[in-house]
Amino acid sequence: MGDLTGKVAIVTGAGRGLGREEALQLARQGARVVINDINLPAAVEASHATVADIKALGGEAIAVFGDCADSNDSDTLFKTTLETFGDVNIVVNNAGFCRDKTIFAMSDDEFDSVVRVHLRGHFVNMRNATKYWREKAKSAPVYGRLVSTASESMLYGTPGQPNYAAAKAGIVAMTMGAAQLMIKYGITANVIMPRARTAMTESAPSAPMFAAPEKGFDVFNPENVAPLVGYLASPESGHISGEVFIVWGGQVTVVQRPTLGTSFNSSNGGKWALDDMHKVMSTYFNESHKPVADGYSMPI
């Protein structure tokens, strides 16, 4: 079950945290793993440690450093992977960071840098993977798995993360498009929304919620997320694509596709008059309706 022997996986942001656990999971299933992380001292040291841990398991791994959102670095990542292992079968986009502020306090750079690393970081690697698989499919069967990393922040519109929430919403939309485009080649694309203790959650106001318990099951250990990534990368998941999952502890929840809600029609069947719009819509948005709590946002 879940045998990935002979398969090649790229995991971004894999030196530490979620990415590290995902890389170890794929290696345990037999995949040869490329650890991708930023070329900074702490990340380089952690990445080499992850490579060493995979080799200690009897697996194969290399580390390739660069900016996950830089097209040239992404090209180098794929070129090095192909030169080393001869194929690319699994791409797990995980790398990212947070720069949390409310929207009226956020600078241009705090917005742009987060959207860049998360959304563009997914884009350039997904582009290289899908391009490679599409070309290969012209002459041979292809094994391809894309796993994107989003967040429940995009569902709830977290007020302190207008950059992060927007980027994660974009990742979901982009992955859904890739899923529809690539399914004819037998390639899947799915999204995970992890709840886990990572460098990002440990630096957030919610950090106490993610603290490790003194005893008992550690529900927010990033190790708990990795089995879902291993499953979505496996042969058994070939019929699962275009899905979004919340994963934490011992639970996986499918996020249902958006559905249309209540519709309103003008009384005359034509262009709305403002007084008619108020008359019709106020039957729904009446005095008992609570802004935000009843809207498209997290209940308060």
Of 47, 74, 151, 241, catalytic: 151
Q: How far apart are CA 59 and CA 130, in angstroms?
A: 26
Known catalytic residue at 203: no
Of 7, 47, 143, 164, catalytic: 164
Beta bridge partners of 34: 10, 62
Of 168, 234, 237, 241, catalytic: 168
- Report the Cα–Cα distance between both ends of the chain, in Å, rounded: 43
Known catalytic residue at 164: yes
Hey, how many other C-beta atoms are within 10 angstroms of the C-beta on 128?
A: 20
Known catalytic residue at 79: no
Beta bridge partners of 92: 11, 147
Q: In this structure, what token pair is assigned to residue 208?
A: 């106490």
Positions marked catalytic: 151, 164, 168
